[in-house]
């Protein structure tokens, strides 16, 4: 246990000492909250001109997280940098020489980074919610309303899982450019195309980001989706677990 504690402290020092990772988390918070406030203000202004159907299904809670699309971009970058920085600098050789138990090394790295992301993600979720509701005025939701606290808490979990999934992919690929080159199109292009084309919509809803977003919804958008908020988050968690297992296996088998 003492060895694990030392590795945890070492990984915490690594994250703190790399400015790019710290700045990335800060950008995630600012971008998410600022964009969410803007979109909530626009929604409040246009509410009266919305079609009746849109007004009846208006999800005041979920729209507070409208900026999370850009916020998750920063979380993806953070997740990739946490892992791949050591490979790009060659520091991974020293790290594995100091901690030859690769499972312990990976566990401690992911634990420290995930804990940090969870705190930041949870704070972002609450900040985005309260700031967004302030912009919505009379159309606001309240934290005590049914499903709202779950959605706000789920926003933090969603951002955490996005970062952890990115760490897993970076562990498999080792290269920051290759990792970002796959993750960015996957989340911002492929997922959107599959989710918006009628022929592939049923496939798209099982992708990690689309399934995970369900946990942030209070008013369901698609009534034919065969899972609920926590079911969607479970699908996202399953994707992440599979990626982590692959990353661990490859780390064990490959040379540094």
Calpha distance 93→203 (Å, rounded): 40
For position 16, what pLDDT does the model report?
A: 84
| Three-state DSSP state, 83 | helix
pTM of the model: 0.92
For position 256, what pLDDT does the model report?
A: 59
**Residue 161's CB: how many other CB atoms inside 10 A?**
26
- Using the predicted structure, report yes or no on whether residue 2 has a pLDDT greater than 80: no
In terms of average pLDDT, the best of 13-22, 148-157, 187-196 is 148-157
- Using the predicted structure, report yes or no on whether residue 151 has a pLDDT greater than 90: yes
Question: For residue 63, what pLDDT band results from cuts at 50, 70 and 90?
Answer: very high
For position 196, what pLDDT does the model report?
A: 83
For position 160, what pLDDT does the model report?
A: 96
- Using the predicted structure, report yes or no on whether residue 194 has a pLDDT greater than 50: yes
The number of helices, as runs of H, and strands, as runs of E, in the chain is 13, 0
Question: For residue 199, what pLDDT band results from cuts at 50, 70 and 90?
Answer: confident
Contacts of 167 (CB under 8 A, 6+ apart): 79, 80, 82, 83, 109, 110, 113, 114, 247
3-state secondary structure 96-163: HHHCCCHHHHHHHHHHHHHHHHHHHHHHHHHHHHHHHHHHHHHHCCCCCCCCHHHHHHHHHHHHHHHH
The chain-wide mean pLDDT, for the chain, equals: 90
**pLDDT tens string 26-38:** 999 999 999 999 9
- Using the predicted structure, report yes or no on whether residue 195 has a pLDDT greater than 90: no
Question: For residue 221, what pLDDT band results from cuts at 50, 70 and 90?
Answer: confident
3-state secondary structure 217-252: CCCCCCCCCCCCHHHHHHHHHHHHHHHHHHHHHHHH
For residue 255, what is the DSSP state? -
* Cα→Cα distances 149→32, 133, 153, Å: 18, 13, 6
- Using the predicted structure, report yes or no on whether residue 1 has a pLDDT greater than 60: no
For position 22, what pLDDT does the model report?
A: 82
């Amino acid at each position: 246990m003492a060895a694990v504690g030392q590795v945890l402290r070492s990984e915490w020092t690594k994250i703190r000492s790399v400015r790019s990772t710290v700045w990335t988390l800060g950008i995630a918070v600012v971008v998410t909250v600022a964009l969410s406030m803007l979109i909530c203000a626009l929604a409040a202004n246009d509410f009266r001109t919305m079609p009746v159907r849109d007004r009846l299904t208006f999800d005041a809670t979920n729209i507070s997280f409208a900026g999370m699309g850009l916020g998750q971009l920063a979380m993806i970058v953070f997740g990739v940098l946490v892992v791949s920085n050591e490979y790009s600098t060659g520091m991974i050789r020293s790290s594995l020489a100091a901690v030859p138990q690769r499972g312990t090394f990976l566990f401690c790295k992911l634990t420290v980074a995930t804990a940090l992301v969870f705190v930041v993600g949870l704070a972002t979720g609450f900040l985005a919610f309260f700031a967004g509701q302030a912009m919505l005025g009379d159309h606001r939701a309240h934290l005590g309303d049914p499903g709202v606290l779950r959605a706000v808490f789920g926003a933090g979990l969603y951002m955490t899982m996005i970062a952890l999934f990115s760490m897993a992919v970076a562990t498999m690929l080792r290269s920051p450019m290759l990792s970002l080159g796959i993750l960015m199109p996957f989340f911002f292009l492929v997922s959107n195309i599959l989710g918006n084309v009628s022929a592939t919509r049923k496939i798209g809803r099982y992708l990690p980001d689309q399934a995970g977003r369900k946990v942030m919804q209070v008013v369901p958008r698609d009534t034919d989706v065969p899972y609920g908020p926590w079911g969607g988050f479970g699908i996202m968690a399953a994707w992440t677990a599979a990626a982590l297992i692959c990353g661990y296996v490859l780390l064990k088998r490959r040379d540094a």
